[in-house]
Amino acid sequence: MTPPSALLPGTASVPFAHSLGVHGDRTAFITADGSVTYRELAARVDATARRLGRERRLILLCGANTVDALVVHLAALAAGHPVLLVPGANPEALQSLIEAYDPDVVAHPDGGRWVLDERRPVSAHSLHPDLALLLSTSGSTGSPKLVRLSHENLQSNAESIAQYLDIRDTDRAATTLPPHYCYGLSVIHSHLLSGAGLILTDLSVADTCFWELFRTGRGTTFAGVPYTFDLLDRVGFASMELPHLRYVTQAGGRLTPDRVRRYAALGRAAGWELFVMYGQTEATARMAYLPPALAETHPEAAGIAVPGGSFRLHPLADWPEEDTGELVYAGPNVMLGYAHTPQDLALGRTTAELHTGDIARLTADGLYEIVGRRSRFVKILGLRIDPAQVEAMLARHGVTALCAGDDEVLAVAATGTHASDAPRIRRLVTEACGLPARAVRVAVLPDLPRLVTGKPDYQAVRERCRPAAGSAGCEGAASEEGVSRAGPGRGADPEDLRTLYAAILDKPLAEVTRDSSFVSLGGDSLSYVEMSLHLEERLGHLPADWHTTPLRDLRPPERGLPSHRRALETGVALRAMAIFCIVGSHIHVFGIKGGAHLLLALAGFNFARFHLTGAERRERIRRIGTSIARIAVPSMAWIGLMLLLNDDYTLANLALLDSVLGPEDSKTGMQFWFVEALVYILVAAVAVLSVPAVDRAERRFPYALPLVIAAVGLLTRYDLLGLPDRTRIPDAITVFWLFALGWAAAKATTARRRLVVTAAAVATVPGFFPGDPGREAIVIAAFTLLVWVPTLPGRERVNQLAGLLATSSLYIYLTHWQIFPLVEGFSRHLAFLASLVFGVAYAAAANRLMRTLRWPRRGGA
């Protein structure tokens, strides 16, 4: 890389940023789209540094865990340009800082690319030679009070962290935190300094796709704030198989001692270590860490100073206890000082040591323990919040309020507004601070609480915002009424979407967070239909991969579609078409065959999407088992009822064993062959995936494994094993290759893989239905559509009808055999309509009954 002096003579820079090329062809970044080596990264950083020019300028950068954003960041550090790193997802905070500091260059995303908005060729500011980075002191609220960090601060902090964590060039860390947050940025810096890899992602740990990427990228570590560990508990982290995990770090707020002890023990049993850490932005990132060996015995401690740093306790009159005082830190990572205006960017060092504002004591074991705080700043779920800045933000929106908080909740008392404005106030605060709604409580009061001196009574604010049991302020379970209350076009707000998800998935509202996705909440293929229709109605479009997208990222398009234009999931449309064709063909209204076999491929497609997630093996097996029950139990219940009313069926039908035990000459016995085949295939899938080695193979080769299974299925599809005639063996034996092809289609993430899956269908479906090429053509065409076209154009009413048919497909299939003979003699077309309507009504009644009994309410595959 070009030496920094050649770009900016006499200017200091950050050594690790301009020495990236020394790591050669080692992997620097891993993304969902591929990887970038250090050699490639260094070349891009060098090119961008040249683009930034020879004159030092203040560069405002919208932070993001993407290659493009980090290239700009590293180029600026390498060439000596000061960087003002801001939250890219908060337009208000971004605009606030642009107005306050008037940057010379603004680097931001524009559509699918990153642009450098060069506002002037020479800086309008006096920039101190040591100034390297500016970070906000209060998370994402856009406070103009900034921490001024030097090149030495960044380098020494990265070296210190790399030393005590023993970061190796073989490590790969996932970016679980945003880069504008000093903790998240320290992960990036320390690993790049060490020649280690970074798995770049904005996915939440609650998203199964995060864990798929983590395993594929051979992740060895990730960082978490206290809220991260809430999510880890929710997704079954304790049972996950993460063969390369070496250690987990925690900072950003106090983790309860019980949880520290529990996760330390979990790591000891699984072979990884837990590092509990303590830091502040003013110390670049880290000041103390707790050695992993002490986590179980001293879980309440912040630990010891990081290498190169030291602590002392400043005595306080109101804290007379021995060995207790305000914690003061000194070290090469202590900031230069604060900036309040652009004029402060010319200042050198104004801070020699850092008064943390935390009250600490020194234990007999030589460990520091935090016992209290002096300032109003609060850390909630890892985010440092300045209540005064929140009050100022609300004032700009016409809301007079007082804010107070603790380690868990931010309380907001507002006046001069109507009680119905509380959701709007909560929304403003959550968007400004990046907090989930459950961490913000709002009370609308006639008057703000005051002390007798006239000063704000913040203790009263906390008390007034504490919800009473059963009050609206408490988070509880959402009802299905929440689905109907929000009409079209509403519900685009994450809070309204939380209500929608909770209602459709039958989840307590408290379990549905902004980081939740449809898949992480256990959604399946039939609830997928209902959810996709409601979501498309609210957002005005259906985003790609919405089922794995966190709620916080589901937004309407900038220009909404006209109200009559809608899109319909291809899988939903095909399921509706398949059941429509099955029933119509059985009644001889028309002769469009192939629907049942298409449904088998769709079942495999949905099996892969909703069951083969990042959940641990036992959870996967439990979910698949539940899906089998959701198919088998309603089927057996209906067949059992028919068994009492007529003699068309046998006990073999009731047990779903007709294809194994039933009489060969029965004309009605094989009417439920599709249900039997699907249940058998799913049972076989449970058996295979219960084997740990197979489970590991599926996670490592999610696309290759179903192709291998499909290839094995061709042995029976082409009868290469000398099997009996197809009429004498269960259909599942000869059709499971279709299920496996659908499975592979769901995991085909590239055009090349989709071509292979399509070619496999085109090559193997012909000949399966001798003398019926039209049937084969329908299956191939529909399968190709499923592979290549995610959504189809639709209209609201058409989508609703398709959704009804797709959601009720199992019940329509079960009941139409008994319904259409009752009406067929009068009119085939009326019999056709009656079969569909009865199946939809029966599905609604069955779901309501299952909901009442708390039975899992949706069909799985």
Please report the DSSP string for 412-436 in residue order. EEEESS-GGGHHHHHHHHHHHHT--
Tokens of 441: 């409580």
Q: Does CATH number 3.40.50.720 belong to domain 481-563?
A: no
Pairing state between β 337-339 and 146-150: antiparallel
Could you give phi then psi for residue 825, rounded to 5 degrees? -65, -25
Task: Report how far apart, in Å, the C-alpha atoms of 326 and of each of 323, 361, 489 are.
Answer: 10, 9, 52
β partners of residue 242: none
Phi and psi torsions of 224, nearest 5°: -145, 145
Residue partners of 705: CB distance under 8 A and separation at least 6: 694, 697, 698
Which single residue is written with the structure tokens 């520290």?
A: 260
Residue with tokens 């992602």: 201
What are residue 270's DSSP bridge partners? none
Tokens of 716: 């029976």
How many CB atoms neighbour CB 521 within 10 A? 22
Q: What is the DSSP string of 311-353?
A: EEEE-BTTB-STTEEEEEEESTTS-SEEESSGGGGG-----SS
Comparing C-alpha atoms, which of 171, 210, 200 is closest to residue 36?
Answer: 200
pLDDT score recorded for residue 139: 53
Extract the tokens encoding 49.
Answer: 């540094």
Measured between alpha carbons, how far is 196 from 179 in angstroms, rounded to an integer?
Answer: 17
Cβ distance 544 to 582 under 8 Å? no
Burial classification of residue 788, based on how many CB atoms lie within 10 Å of its CB (0-12 exposed, 13-18 middle, 19 or more buried): middle
Residue 257's identity, in one-letter code, is P
Contact present, 172 and 165 (Cβ < 8 Å): no
Distance CA 179, CA 62 (A): 9
Cβ atoms of 526 and 860 closer than 8 Å: yes
Rounded (to 5) percent helix, strand, coil in the chain: 50, 15, 35
**Rounded distance, CA 172 to CA 280, Å?**
24
- The residues facing 443 across adjacent strands are 413
374-380 LR contacts (CB < 8 Å, sep 24+): 374/316, 374/326, 376/404, 376/458, 377/138, 378/404, 378/405, 378/406, 378/407, 378/410, 379/252, 379/253, 379/254, 379/407, 380/253, 380/405, 380/406, 380/407, 380/408, 380/409, 380/410, 380/433, 380/435, 380/439
Q: 63 near 179, Cβ under 8 Å?
A: yes
Residue type, 420: S
Task: Give the whole-angstrom CA distance, residue 95 versus residue 200.
Answer: 26
Report the pLDDT value the prediction gives residue 405, as an integer from 0 to 100.
83
Q: Which helix (H) or strand (E) holds 799?
A: helix 796-807
DSSP string, 170-185: T-EEE--S-TTSHHHH
Dihedral sign, Cα of residue 536, residue 542, residue 548, residue 549: negative
The total of other beta-carbon atoms located within 10 Å of residue 453's CB is 7
Q: Are 64 and 72 in contact (CB under 8 A)?
A: no
| Gap between the Cα atoms of 356 and 137, Å rounded | 13
* Separation between Cα atoms, residue 812 and residue 817, nearest integer Å: 9
- Count of beta carbons in the 10 Å neighbourhood of residue 124: 12
Which are the contacts of 67, defined by CB distance < 8 A and separation ≥ 6?
A: 29, 31, 36, 44, 200
Q: Sign of dihedral through CA atoms 231, 433, 476, 612?
A: negative
Residue 796 has φ and ψ, to the nearest 5°, of: -55, -50
* 8 Å CB contact between 441 and 404: no
List the domain boundaries for the chain: 4-372, 386-451, 481-563, 593-792
Query: Rounded to an integer, what is the distance from CA 683 to the centroid of its chain?
Result: 29
Which pair of tokens denotes residue 145? 């009070």
773-788 vs 731-747: helix crossing angle, rounded to 10? 30
pLDDT at 24: 96
Give the fold, CATH level 3, of 4-372. Rossmann fold (3.40.50)
Query: In whole angstroms, what is the distance from residue 807 CA to residue 337 CA?
Result: 61
**pLDDT of amino acid 206:** 85
Q: State the Cα–Cα distance between residues 58 and 98, nearest whole angstrom.
A: 11
Q: How far apart (Å, rounded) are the C-alpha atoms in residues 19 and 9?
A: 18
**Are residues 410 and 440 in contact, defined by beta-carbon separation less than 8 angstroms?**
yes
- What pLDDT sits at residue 539? 76
The whole-number pLDDT of residue 397 equals 87
Contact 286, 159 (CB under 8 A): no
Q: From 159, 177, 408, select the one nearest 286 (Cα to Cα).
A: 159
Q: State the Cα angle at 518 between 517 and 523, rounded to 5°.
A: 145
Query: What's residue 858's pLDDT?
Result: 39
Going by C-alpha positions, the residue among 81, 71, 61 that lies closest to residue 122 is: 81
The rounded average pLDDT for each run of 10 residues, N- to C-terminus, in the chain (861 residues) is 53 90 96 94 95 94 94 96 88 83 93 88 94 81 83 97 97 94 95 97 89 94 89 87 96 88 95 96 96 96 97 79 87 96 95 92 93 73 77 87 84 80 86 80 84 65 66 34 38 69 73 77 70 74 75 65 63 93 93 92 91 79 86 91 87 88 69 92 93 88 93 90 74 92 91 93 93 92 93 82 88 92 90 94 78 48 39
Please tell me the predicted confidence (pLDDT) of residue 490. 41
Q: Which fold has domain 386-451?
A: GMP Synthetase; Chain A, domain 3 (3.30.300)
